[in-house]
Chains A and B, each alone.
Chain A
């Protein structure tokens, strides 16, 4: 599904990702954990193609296709979705308008017909009901004046509507209280399927209580330094990242 091979990437001339290799199979939820500054967010941006993040070596394959040469919108059309740590506000653009533009842009890029308005409304209503997103919120400009929890819920709503093949969650738990965390996690869990892979990037174990990973990878200084099962996350929660950071430094 997603395969990262010997990835090297820099931002503003500074090397952040140093030979990162990682494989996530279809149906798998892989957690990437790491201390601050280990390159977690950079990894999500490099995979999704943000400008200014320069890949100096390596490959990122999505279903066997190297996506590094594609612009972000084409990667999205191939089925890649990134739930942002800090979702952006788009003043004056109703959330509903944005959702429809995004869905149809992707459909068009894949050579599919645009959604009719009734069909679109049906899908939005179904998905928003599940996530407890009020219709009134969909008429407001996207993310403008939304609380932290509402913004994250909106990210999950977008993911549900865009039905990506592969989802990356970048510190989705940051800024969420426990109730919001539960709602958002349930939304993500509902999207788990044997065909879909996830990369869950987080600093804390607590998100993984709600979204149970199949594999856990420790990121330090731009590389995966340890891979294990869910128990690895618990171990990190108890001992912190000290061991891995020290190991690298030694």
Chain B
């Protein structure tokens, strides 16, 4: 329970409505001109010294994008985005190739320090026991600034680097897998990303290798009016295992900022990928001014037999979240999992869930979603479970629980279930509850303050999902939950 106590202390130590990560780093940056056209796409590709096929791939995506329409089916509302008013590329200036962290701009390192992200390997080595070491890739606006533990990972044969670097050093791998899970034409935001993505992480785990440490990427949007479009590609070859975590923050700005990422996961025979997200983009102020539009496409392909992909997400930030981490269960007896905690407070809008597409025989999936709405927010779970006619013996279990705090917020559950064969077994459970005054009073009678009591009850509500997170991040997530619910009890 120390964590709850810490949580509460942390909440108390910050001002009401204060977003802890809302500072701006004063650093010179190099930007592409505002707006989007073929020249900008070529500019980004040239900046990254990409092979020609890649430039063509981007241009192709861009041309497709021009003919597409922004999706409107989600239960979210926002003024239309002027895509010509954004910057599509921004990089901290003076970024020559770096050999060690000592060459990174100290201002940048300070930023990550403020965010509580230990980039310096020696700090990690000194402070933490070996089993909980984490290799970190830090992405600042459009570029990756540092990746730690590369050498040690290389010894195990694991490739963990910025995707721009992978395009240079391992073009055959990138070319083989990029766009095979989320095609360049998949949807409006994914297609835009395909045209203009500037960085992100690349992971390849060779056959039979269990990745020796947690891999982690931290994304930071710093520049104003800049879209962030990162692309992550993770391949777990036969019989391998990898656990990956991403975290995200951004400064407080009065304007909305667009974040349209794409994540592709590929798991071959008997491989397992565990992908965890702690998403804490700036959510906007209490009146709904500013905040990140988080329009993200995440999909995993269980390509091999008995492969497994597990998504765990803790979503507390962003003004609008539009995100459905999904699994294509192609391999026979493959398994997909989705564990989600989505918290909305203030004026936040969340439309999130998952898709489990059962294609192979005896595939199974499990969905546990916990939505918590407070303030004047709207929180929607949208999920699709489908079984192809050849997916004999497919099984799914879905559990969606919603918790309401106060009486001005909303919780919605929109499940789509399609089965094309008679042997599939799909189960769906859903509950909606409210933190009752009785529960609060009971806890307070035992000595807990109103905030402590709310944090305790909410942590109990999300416990099944928190248990899925790697240990050190579970504690972080627990704190984050309390902070994002601050001010939700009168």
Contact = CB atoms under 8 A, between A and B. Distances in A.
A and B interact physically: yes
Interface of A: 48-52, 71-73, 75-77, 81-82, 84, 87-93, 97-98, 100-106, 109, 114, 141, 158, 162
B409 to A, nearest CB: 20
A50 B441 contact: yes
A44 to B, nearest CB: 10
B460 A92 contact: yes
Contacts of B436: 88
A93 B446 contact: no
Given A84-B442, A101-B1, A93 B447 contact: no
B460 A105 contact: no
B471 to A, nearest CB: 16
A109 B437 contact: no
A201 B444 CA distance: 21
Contacts of B445: 48, 72-73, 75-76, 81-82, 84
A90 B455 CA distance: 12
A102 B442 contact: no
B442 A101 contact: no
B86 to A, nearest CB: 42
A78 to B, nearest CB: 10
Interface of B: 1, 4-5, 436-439, 441-450, 452, 456-457, 459-464
A104 B446 contact: no
A92 B463 contact: yes
28 contacts: A51-B437, A71-B444, A71-B449, A71-B450, A73-B448, A75-B445, A76-B445, A76-B447, A81-B445, A84-B445, A91-B461, A92-B461, A92-B464, A93-B456, A93-B459, A97-B1, A97-B4, A98-B446, A101-B1, A101-B4, A101-B448, A102-B443, A103-B447, A104-B5, A105-B448, A105-B452, A141-B460, A162-B447
B446 A100 contact: no
B447 A88 contact: no
A100 B443 contact: no
A72 B460 contact: no
Nearest to B444: A72
Find the residue from B1, B4, B442, B443 having the highest chain A CB count within 10 A: B1
A151 to B, nearest CB: 11
A40 B4 CA distance: 35
Contact of A158 (B439, B446, B449, B463): B446
B173 to A, nearest CB: 42
Given A93-B460, A162-B446, A88 B5 contact: no
Contacts of B441: 50-51, 72
A73 B462 CA distance: 24
A88 B462 contact: no
Contacts of B437: 51-52
B484 to A, nearest CB: 18
Contacts of A102: 443, 446-448
A100 B1 CA distance: 7
A41 to B, nearest CB: 12
Nearest to B463: A92
Find the residue from B439, B442, B447, B457 having the highest chain A CB count within 10 A: B447
Nearest to A84: B442
Contacts of B459: 92-93
A90 B444 contact: no
A49 B4 CA distance: 24
Contacts of B442: 84, 87-88, 90
Nearest to A81: B445
Contacts of B448: 73, 101-102, 105
Nearest to A120: B1
Contacts of A103: 447
A101 B463 contact: no
Contacts of A114: 5
4 nearest A-B residue pairs (beta carbon): A92-B460, A93-B460, A106-B447, A102-B446
A138 to B, nearest CB: 13
Contacts of A48: 445
Nearest to A50: B441
Contacts of A109: 447
Contacts of A72: 441, 444-445
Nearest to B448: A105
A179 B341 CA distance: 43
A81 B460 CA distance: 23
Given A72-B444, A101-B456, 14 more contacts: A71-B450, A72-B441, A82-B445, A88-B442, A93-B459, A98-B446, A101-B5, A101-B448, A102-B447, A105-B447, A105-B448, A105-B449, A109-B447, A158-B446
Contacts of A100: 1
A99 to B, nearest CB: 9
Nearest to B437: A51
Contacts of A106: 446-447
Contacts of A73: 444-445, 447-450, 452
